[in-house]
């Protein structure tokens, strides 16, 4: 079996920052595994601006922010990048099995950093009743369809949830000439950033219904409408105030869940409520030498903070390796 | 006249109050930094936004090339700007920062690629 000093799973902002930092701190044998065809992770589909003010002191789009790190990763000798590499199994002892085109590979990592990001919560997880027509998308999937695939998922949109991705997509659909009829948020406060309420909704005259919920999704083959009602303080709908919005598309933007199935396989203790590792300190897990960073560790609002904390993960892995190797590794 | 704004320059979202006289910002308060002040003045005098979108690639490794305006453009020019940008097709490799549409709508602002696409 192949044995490597440091294996990093995930080539998004967290994995790239950790890889570059670990190399700069002296680790000479690093493998960065990325499931997709390109490094950059979710930043590649976040074509809007607003990234980088904290880390680079300038405003960048997602792909530009990613590009800064992609260039550094490829310029740095000692970081081996393996794209189209999907980790299928993680066993105790930090033994990974991954698939890449034409091969199944097994590698034992002395130190392991998991930077696997998040998944989106779905319609099923928040139990919106109704029929099951085509046209219901998670906001991030719609983002991928428009920005990566060049497909417009619909022309008349209702967004459920006021998370940042939903707000960003309300603006994106508007710019593409679609009509965004409403954003429906069950809480009394929006969950997304204030600046996104201003520049994604107010700029385009899109109404935000706080303290409202979607009662029913209508449509046989394709979404036709949603029923909406305000809710009282106990979350019960006030049915006499119910109204219907015609639409062909529903976007669901109701939060993210850290993606940690692999470390669970390896026996890492997870907090069931948040799906994050039970941890004494930033990036640590219950397994020595196995670190989790970025959105897999906790859901971050902005990528600059992911970068800051993932740099720490790179250093933590270096310290762990130094301790394992009797202090001879540094430098 | 007084206008209340939420700053969009960074995730903090400061609440800014601008005193406006004859269409000019004469007093700004509530901003946490210089960028916030500049935003508030621009927002009441000549509101503008950076425009980001994607344009189709032909014969390249990706279907779409993400792009942005090189500088913010007037807020109400965005619809026309999108119509112009929608006509662009990219058939040769581009690097981050390459101009894909010069002088958008005669505004003196270019549309530039935000990702390397080969």
Do A178 and A230 lie in one domain? The reply is yes
Do A79 and A146 lie in one domain? The reply is no
B27 pLDDT higher than 70: yes
User: Is residue B99 within 8 angstroms of chain A, CB to CB?
Assistant: no
Query: What's the distance, CA B92 to chain centroid?
Result: 25
Q: Which residues in chain A have their CB less than 8 angstroms from residue B5's CB? A: 198
Q: Which residues in chain A have their CB less than 8 angstroms from residue B6's CB? A: 194-195, 197-198
A327 pLDDT higher than 80: no
Mean of per-residue pLDDT scores for chain A: 96
How many other β-carbons are positioned within 10 Å of the β-carbon of residue B103?
11
Confidence of residue A330 (pLDDT cuts 50, 70, 90): very low
H helices within A37-128, ranges in order? 62-75, 123-126
- CB distance A148–B62 less than 8 Å? yes
Q: Which of A61, A66, A151, A303 to mutate to probe the B interface, most B CBs <10 Å?
A: A61
Confidence of residue A127 (pLDDT cuts 50, 70, 90): confident
Q: What is the pLDDT of residue B60?
A: 97
Residues A188 and A233: beta-carbon distance below 8 Å: no
CATH number reported for the structural domain that contains residue A136 in this entry? 3.50.50.60
In a domain, A331, yes or no: no
Q: What is the pLDDT of residue A328?
A: 54
Q: Which residues in chain B have their CB less than 8 angstroms from residue A150's CB? A: 54, 56, 63-64
Do A141 and A242 lie in one domain? The reply is yes
A1 pLDDT higher than 90: no
Instruction: Count up the domains in chain A and report the number.
Output: 2
Confidence of residue A124 (pLDDT cuts 50, 70, 90): confident
Q: Burial, B109: exposed, middle or buried (Cβ in 10 Å; 0-12, 13-18, 19+)?
A: buried
User: Is residue A149 within 8 angstroms of chain B, CB to CB?
Assistant: yes
Query: What percent of chain A stands above pLDDT 70?
Result: 98
- CB distance A150–B82 less than 8 Å? no
CA A217 to chain B, closest CA, distance in angstroms equals 30
Q: Which residue has the tokens 């919560």?
A: A121
User: Is residue A145 within 8 angstroms of chain B, CB to CB?
Assistant: no
The model scores a pTM over 0.80: yes
CA B75 to chain A, closest CA, distance in angstroms equals 8
- The domain boundary, picked from A191, A223, A252, lies at A252
Q: What is the pLDDT of residue A326?
A: 78
Residues B49 and B32: beta-carbon distance below 8 Å: no
Angle at which helix A62-75 crosses helix A13-24, to 10 degrees, equals 30
- CB distance A199–B115 less than 8 Å? no
User: Is residue B33 within 8 angstroms of chain A, CB to CB?
Assistant: no
Residue A55 is encoded by which pair of tokens?
């880390």
What is the number of CB-based contacts under 8 A between chain A and chain B? 78
Structural domain boundaries, residue A127: 122-252
Confidence of residue A329 (pLDDT cuts 50, 70, 90): very low
Arithmetic mean of pLDDT, A19-48: 97
pLDDT single digits (tens) A268-281: 999 999 999 999 99
Angle at which helix A303-324 crosses helix A62-75, to 10 degrees, equals 20
Do A261 and A114 lie in one domain? The reply is yes
Task: Indicate where chain B has its CATH 3.10.530.10 domain(s).
Answer: 52-113
A211 pLDDT higher than 60: yes
Do A88 and A10 lie in one domain? The reply is yes
Q: A146-160, A175-189, A314-328, B46-60: which has the minimum mean pLDDT?
A: A314-328
- The domain boundary, picked from A232, A252, A272, lies at A252
Do A11 and A111 lie in one domain? The reply is yes
Do A227 and A133 lie in one domain? The reply is yes
A331 pLDDT higher than 50: no
Arithmetic mean of pLDDT, B108-118: 98
B91 pLDDT higher than 80: yes
Q: What is the pLDDT of residue A325?
A: 84
Do A229 and A128 lie in one domain? The reply is yes
Do A152 and A35 lie in one domain? The reply is no
How many other β-carbons are positioned within 10 Å of the β-carbon of residue B23?
9
- d(C-alpha A187, C-alpha A231), whole Å: 9
Give the CATH number of domain B52-113: 3.10.530.10
Which among B13, B63, B96 is the nearest to A64, CB-wise?
A: B96
User: Is residue A147 within 8 angstroms of chain B, CB to CB?
Assistant: yes
Query: Which residue in B has a C-alpha nearest to residue A304's C-alpha?
Result: B11
């Amino acid at each position: 079996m192949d044995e490597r000093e440091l294996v990093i799973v995930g080539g998004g902002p967290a994995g790239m920052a950790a890889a570059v930092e670990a190399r700069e701190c002296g680790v000479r044998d690093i493998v960065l595994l990325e499931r997709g065809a390109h490094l950059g992770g979710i930043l590649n589909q976040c074509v809007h601006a607003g990234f980088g003010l904290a880390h680079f002191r300038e405003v960048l789009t997602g792909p530009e922010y990613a590009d800064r790190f992609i260039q550094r990763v490829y310029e740095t000798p000692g970081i081996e990048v393996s794209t189209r590499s999907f980790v299928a199994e993680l066993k105790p002892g930090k033994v990974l099995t991954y698939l890449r085109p034409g091969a199944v590979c097994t590698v034992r990592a002395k130190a392991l950093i998991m930077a696997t990001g998040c998944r989106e919560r779905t319609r099923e997880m928040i139990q919106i009743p109704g029929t099951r027509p085509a046209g219901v998308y998670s906001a991030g999937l719609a983002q991928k369809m428009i920005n990566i695939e060049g497909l417009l998922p619909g022309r008349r949109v209702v967004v459920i949830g006021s998370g940042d991705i939903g707000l960003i997509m309300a603006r994106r659909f508007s710019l593409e000439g679609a009509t965004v009829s409403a954003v429906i948020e069950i809480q009394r406060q929006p969950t997304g950033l204030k600046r996104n309420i201003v520049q994604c909704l107010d700029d385009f005259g899109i109404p935000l219904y706080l303290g409202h919920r979607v009662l029913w999704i209508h449509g046989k083959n394709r979404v036709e409408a949603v029923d909406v009602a305000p809710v009282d303080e106990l979350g019960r709908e006030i049915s006499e105030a119910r109204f219907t919005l015609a639409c062909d598309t529903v976007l669901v933007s109701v939060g993210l869940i850290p993606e940690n199935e692999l470390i669970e396989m390896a026996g890492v203790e997870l907090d069931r409520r948040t799906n994050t590792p039970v941890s004494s300190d930033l990036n640590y897990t219950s397994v020595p030498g196995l670190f989790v960073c970025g959105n897999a560790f906790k859901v971050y609002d902005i990528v600059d903070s992911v970068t800051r904390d993932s740099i720490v993960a790179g250093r933590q892995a270096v310290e762990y390796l130094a301790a394992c190797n009797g202090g001879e590794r540094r430098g | 006249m007084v206008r209340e704004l939420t700053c969009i320059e960074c995730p903090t979202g400061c609440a800014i109050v601008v005193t406006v006289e004859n269409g000019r910002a004469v007093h700004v308060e509530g901003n946490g930094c210089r960028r916030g002040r500049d935003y508030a003045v621009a927002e009441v005098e000549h509101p503008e936004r950076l425009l980001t979108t994607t344009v189709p690639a032909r014969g390249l490794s990706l279907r779409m090339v993400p792009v942005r305006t090189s500088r913010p453009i007037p807020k109400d020019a965005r619809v026309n700007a999108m119509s112009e940008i929608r006509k662009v097709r990219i058939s040769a490799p581009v690097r981050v920062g390459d101009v894909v549409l010069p002088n958008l709508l005669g505004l003196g602002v270019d549309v530039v690629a935000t990702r390397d696409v080969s």
